[in-house]
Amino acid sequence: DTAVSQTPKYLVTQMGNDKSIKCEQNLGHDTMYWYKQDSKKFLKIMFSYNNKELIINETVPNRFSPKSPDKAHLNLHINSLELGDSAVYFCASTQGQGWSTEAFFGQGTRLTVV
């Protein structure tokens, strides 16, 4: 069973479109995250939800809107896509926020905006 699964794995779309990426974790974890990994491979946190509540909201354009219908799901909706949004987006989850927190990652969604 896949612990953290995100769909789609690849997404190619035109500028200006709206798209969503879905994420589900079956680990029973309390906290879920969205990360963006750019072409230089730097992982940058975008959002964090704990028990469906937003706890981290880094400086990202408000075109990005996360939604957590329940603690096992965290979806990312992006409006008016721009060329600079092209990157790999990773969903991750952790159990609580303790010092021994291990992050489990999905396989990533490679978004290409053309």
Partner 1 sequence: TQLLEQSPQFLSIQEGENLTVYCNSSSVFSSLQWYRQEPGEGPVLLVTVVTGGEVKKLKRLTFQFGDARKDSSLHITAAQPGDTGLYLCAGANSNYQLIWGAGTKLIIKP
Task: Establish if 72 lies at the interface with partner 1 (CB under 8 A).
Answer: no
C-beta contacts of 42-50 below 8 A and 24+ residues apart: 43/90, 46/76, 47/74, 47/76, 49/74, 50/97
What six digits make up the tokens of 54?
A: 């937003």
Task: Establish if 102 lies at the interface with partner 1 (CB under 8 A).
Answer: yes
Task: Establish if 105 lies at the interface with partner 1 (CB under 8 A).
Answer: yes
What six digits make up the tokens of 97?
A: 């926020």
Question: CB neighbours of 78 closer than 8 A, spacing ≥ 6?
Answer: 18, 19, 20, 21, 63, 64, 65, 85, 111
Site string for partner 1, 4-33 (x = CB under 8 A): x-----------------------------
Task: Establish if 114 lies at the interface with partner 1 (CB under 8 A).
Answer: no
Task: Establish if 39 lies at the interface with partner 1 (CB under 8 A).
Answer: no
Nearer to partner 1, 45 or 72 (CB): 45
Distance in Å, CB of 15 to partner 1, minimum: 25
